[in-house]
Amino acid sequence: MTATARTDVAGLRDAVRALNKIEPGLRKEFTREAADIAKPAITEAQNSYPDELLSGMQRSWTSRGRKLFPWSAAKARRGVKLKVDARREALSVINIQQTDPATAVFETAGRANPNQLGESLGPLQPNHTRILGPAVFRKRRAIEDEMRRLALRTVQNVAKEMR
């Protein structure tokens, strides 16, 4: 479950991949700085999760042997995390995502096609999430410029070290 806002900086993916080669621990520092910058959006999303959902979501559910439920607000709040993904096939380098499976179901139920669970959980715009996406977009202005500066600074530092 990922909400993204595209801000392209040429070479960020390669710069992030090169950070560990230059000096071990630099990538962790980059991730820590990015998480600090994204903290307003993460906090907004964490505070927006309701304490209770549908009564059936308190029961254990499994799908193909994978435990999805019970849902808990505490796990939903802990599940909002920033991920730095520098793989070549990744769509974006910096993502704010929901890692709790039950909350991911809550976020996206009824998104691809209308269904009873999605309707019971409340309104959802097509191709959006219920809580995470809107929270990130509300705080986008607060984090976008700082993220761009961090990305440019990282690319410049890597380029300087590679010379």
**From the centroid of its chain, how far is CA 113?**
23
**Domain tally, the chain:** 1
Distance from C-alpha of 128 to C-alpha of 47, rounded to nearest angstrom: 18
| pLDDT tens digits in sequence order for the chain, 163 residues long | 555 544 444 578 888 888 877 877 888 888 899 999 999 999 998 998 888 877 777 778 777 887 777 888 888 899 999 988 888 888 888 888 888 888 888 888 777 777 777 777 777 777 778 788 888 888 888 888 898 888 888 888 887 777 7
List the domain range (segments joined by +) for residue 148: 2-162
Q: Which helix (H) or strand (E) holds 109?
A: none
The closest alpha carbon to 141, from 1, 49, 8, 7, belongs to 7
C-alpha dihedral sign at 150, 155, 156, 162: positive
pTM of the model: 0.77
Report H helices in 49-139.
73-78, 101-108, 116-121, 132-138
